[in-house]
Amino acid sequence: MTQIRWATPANDDFLGIVEWIKAQNPEAAARVGQRILDAVEDLAIHPYLGKPGRSPNTRELVVTRFPYLIAYSVEAGKGTTHHPEQVVVSRVLHGTMLWPPQERTTRDRWGLGTDADGAMACLSNCVQDEKRRMHLGRS
């Protein structure tokens, strides 16, 4: 089985996502956090599960049922790519965030806010949807 290593930005992303949702709905935060962790654990068994990434030498895995993307790379074992030695999770991002990062967007130039603003608004909607599902007795 392939080892998983979380880069500091990915760890910070994950904790930020869970803390932000937790402030609004602790139960939803636990579900979202667990689903992200489950998706990363799947990479230990199937490191090439995600599609080729938009950044060189990366792959991207969409977290099912939630609007998150796990950006990662697969570091090959000694002399072969058939037996990966390690999966390095580089980022955990909301699907509306600009990835890979670019210098400035048109939105920034016109003073309309950052992509993170849009991601937080979309995340808020996701939390509200989760609350509605809970209220209706769905999981």
Contact predicate 130/28, CB 8 Å: yes
- How many domains does the chain divide into? 1
At 71-90, the pLDDT tens digits run 999 987 765 556 667 999 99
Q: Taking residues 122-139, what's their average pLDDT?
A: 59
- The CATH code of the domain that includes 110 is 3.30.2310.20
**What pLDDT, in 10s, does the model give residues 99-120?**
777 655 544 444 444 445 555 5
* Cα distance between the two ends of the chain: 31
Residue 127 pLDDT grade (very low, low, confident, very high; cuts 50, 70, 90): low
With 0.75 as the threshold, say if the pTM is over it: no
What torsion, rounded to 10 degrees, do the Cα atoms 24, 26, 27, 32 define? 80
Range of the domain at 41: 3-135
Work out the pLDDT band at 131, boundaries 50, 70, 90: low
- Rounded CA-CA distance 29/35 in Å is 10
